[in-house]
Structure 1
């Protein structure tokens, strides 16, 4: 199964490749036997992606296992992914603000 997903052999899955794979009725049936509803490849890709635009096979397996179960599980994974993305953005913003503050360029308003 994993070899069919990673057709390039580089250990990475693109959004396009994942959507293509999930559009195959046999693959959809296989995931249904695992109690996974993965009808939307793009949404699943963004849930699995850690923000670098690529999904490794390990990220794919880990993410799929977290999505297992009722639809609520997928909602929880989606929320977790959004929180991780938000944390990354807030951390980057904080680091930029600290650099500006240390450079003395930060001006406080009166």
Structure 2
């Protein structure tokens, strides 16, 4: 079974994402900020990460940079999930290492298509 780490400071977003991803047959773990997510990835790297941009403690962008430096044997696929929709934000996320980008609010079809694009759905 594929695994996905949902990283968002909103419990509601984590719950919605978990529901969708479990329906897509993912094993789902959650983290409330980037630091917690990084520790989780180092302990047990997931296949994919659904990553929020704006979080306390460690932002999504800071997490992406730290993940790149973590030296994992295989880097998880990263789908950035945020309300920031302008091209500058999207370009910055992709340049920082995100594989795909999804806008909030999202639904099952949107999330499933993004995970298909990165080869995991």
Give TM-score, length-normalised by structure 1. 0.28
Which structure has the bigger radius of gyration? 1
Q: Give the structure with the higher percent helix.
A: 1
Q: Give the structure with the higher percent strand.
A: 2
Give TM-score, length-normalised by structure 2. 0.26
